[in-house]
Chains A and B, each alone.
Chain A
Amino acid sequence: MKFIKVRAIVEGYAEGPALISKEPISFYGGIDPRTGVIREKGHPLEGKTVKNTILIFPYGKGSTVGSYVLLSLAKHGVAPKAIVNLESEPIIVIGCLLAKIPLVDKPQEDVFKILNDNENVKVIANKENAYICIEKR
């Protein structure tokens, strides 16, 4: 087991397969709000779905309407189970708060090096003590 300390922004607990993007994600226009499929042309995750994943990306970009898209994903049951950012910005913070998706940022280790797609990840986001947990090494 390996634990990586993070900052909890939206509290909660989640567990699921990692979906990793080294590129920022634009939720508005970049993700279908009804299916959760990433449709931004040329994005490394194009064609994949965020549904039930632990979605890991540096930060959000693009229109602030992205907050509404996160909420819509949750309503249609296709939201990620949790989000891990390097540094969260208001689009993602507001979206996760509204949609009640656990959100953490500022991991103290390089998650892009340590984690692989589909690897099982636990996100434990308590205000005082937040970390992500993986099962290897």
Chain B
Amino acid sequence: MFLSREEELMLDGEFGEAVELAARVVVKVAEVLGASRLMPIKSAHISGISYKNIGDAGLEFLKELTEKNAHFRVPTTINPAGFDFNKWQKMKIDDKFFIKQCEIVNSFSKMGARITLSCIPYTFNKPAFGDHIAWSESNAVLYANSIIGARTNREGGPLAIFEAIIGRAPYMGLHLTVNRQPNIYVDFTEVVKVGFSPSLLGYTLGVLVKNGVPFVKPTSFLTNIEDIKLFLAAVGASSSIAMVLLDKYSPEAKLNRYKLETLEKITVSISDVEMSKEKISKALDNIDAFLIGCPHLSCDEIRKIYLFLENRRIIRRLILFTSRDIIEKNKSMLERLEKSGVEIYADTCMVVSEIANLGLKNVAVDSAKAAYYLTSQGYNVSLLNRKDILESVSGDYP
């Protein structure tokens, strides 16, 4: 494998122990996967932040890195943690979990990460078309590749840490133009008119296709950016796909003319969608709460939710998840929502926190990704449309 002079110095320990370790790991992964060289990256995003996910094994590793004075070379953001730092007592976090989570976040802070605690890093540091980045967190990877046209593989959390420390990633996979071409044509004609939620359709796509770069047409079931976000997050939950070429939306799908007739083609049927729904959603008699914010809500989404609920009475538990930054930017709106009874959490999400501590067992969500992970954690989940959720939780004033 080709290494630049600087990269060789990194391996030789010229930049300290942490850089040497990081370079060794990234080079080894590059070699094993057959990359020809490394390539500079513009940003990194790291998943695996919640103590619930990485446990003591992860915490010990992070502490070791900070003892070696590890420091990120590129702007680095991090995923949600296990609780809201301002409402941890309300979330019934015990002292041990609280301390361990603080230590994890503190380690990232020491290494120079921006403490975003959010799974939508593109709202903090939006890459440009063609930028090479190293992001973990599948929904963000899918969004970057498919909607922004930035280039990243689906990195694991630990690998993204090492890539951030040396500011480089293996030049392979979706960093190469040749691998950003569609290899399968997924036809949604049969299901677009049924009114399935975009999130469920994304989940179904992942179940059917599993990996590669699918080209999706028609895309008329995606009416706005929220739909796309939910769709892509669901693809990430049910497959190892890292990029979807969405007709009319993906910049590369607009720029290129693909020879669709030469591609393998599958047609998504109504029964495909219904079968994939069975795995993650059931009809529930008693719903303890309705959860929105997987992925984290954007400013736009919060505004729309606010406008819908503005003159209505909250009659059921509605819990929203977003980032601290977005809460700050929408303070007055969110304060009014909270006053009306809506619960709002930052720094965390429904998947990486312990929502049982909020008294929840039966929940409704609008995200198939959340439905998948919450079902696997033992919750009873009903997958609904966002509009249905908002209607269910609110009523007219008498």
Contacts and interface: CB of A to CB of B under 8 A. Distances in A.
A21 B25 CA distance: 26
A88 B58 contact: no
B141 to A, nearest CB: 13
B53 A97 contact: no
Contact of A72 (B29, B48, B57, B158): B57
B274 to A, nearest CB: 27
Interface centre among A63, A75, A94, A105 (most CB of B within 10 A): A94
A67 interface: yes
A102 to B, nearest CB: 13
Contact of B29 (A68, A69, A71, A90): A90
Interface residues of A, number: 20
Nearest to B53: A65
B32 A88 contact: yes
Interface string A96-108: 0110000001000
B24 A72 contact: no
A64 B156 CA distance: 5
Contacts of B29: 90, 93-94
Contacts of A69: 57
B156 A75 contact: no
A94 B157 CA distance: 11
B25 A98 contact: yes
Contacts of A4: none
Interface in A72-98: 72, 75, 88, 90-91, 93-94, 97-98
A130 to B, nearest CB: 13
A68 B159 contact: no
B48 A65 contact: yes
A68 B25 contact: no
Contacts of A72: 56-57, 60
B137 to A, nearest CB: 11
A88 B28 CA distance: 11
DSSP class of A's interface residues: helix, strand, loop or mixed? Answer: helix
B136 interface: yes
Interface string B297-340: 00000000000000000000000000000000000000000000
B58 A64 contact: no
Given A94-B25, A97-B24, A68 B158 contact: yes
Interface string B47-58: 110000111111
Q: Which of B32, B47, B157 has the most CB of A within 10 A?
A: B32
B15 interface: no
A33 interface: yes
A37 interface: no
Contacts of A90: 29, 32-33, 156, 159
Nearest to A27: B57
A115 interface: no
B378 to A, nearest CB: 13
A68 B156 contact: no
A9 interface: yes
A65 B58 CA distance: 7
B32 A9 contact: yes
B28 A68 contact: no
B156 A91 contact: yes
B54 A94 contact: no
Contacts of A98: 25, 61, 158
B25 A97 contact: yes
Given A75-B60, A90-B156, A98-B61, A64 B136 contact: yes
B61 A71 contact: yes
A90 B170 CA distance: 12
A102 B196 CA distance: 49
Contact of B28 (A9, A63, A105): A9
A67 B156 contact: yes
A69 B53 CA distance: 11
A93 B35 CA distance: 15
Contact of A94 (B47, B53, B58, B158): B158
Contacts of A105: 32
Interface string A31-59: 00100000000000000000000000000
B295 to A, nearest CB: 18
- Greatest chain B CB density within 10 A among A68, A72, A88 is at A68
B287 to A, nearest CB: 28
Nearest to B162: A94
Given A90-B29, A94-B162, 13 more contacts: A9-B32, A33-B57, A64-B47, A64-B156, A65-B57, A65-B158, A68-B55, A68-B60, A91-B156, A94-B25, A94-B159, A97-B24, A98-B158
10 contacts: A33-B55, A64-B156, A64-B158, A65-B55, A65-B158, A68-B57, A90-B32, A93-B25, A94-B156, A98-B61
Interface of B: 24-25, 28-29, 32-33, 47-48, 53-58, 60-61, 136, 156-159, 162
> 3 smallest A-B Cβ distances: which pairs?
A64-B156, A72-B57, A68-B57
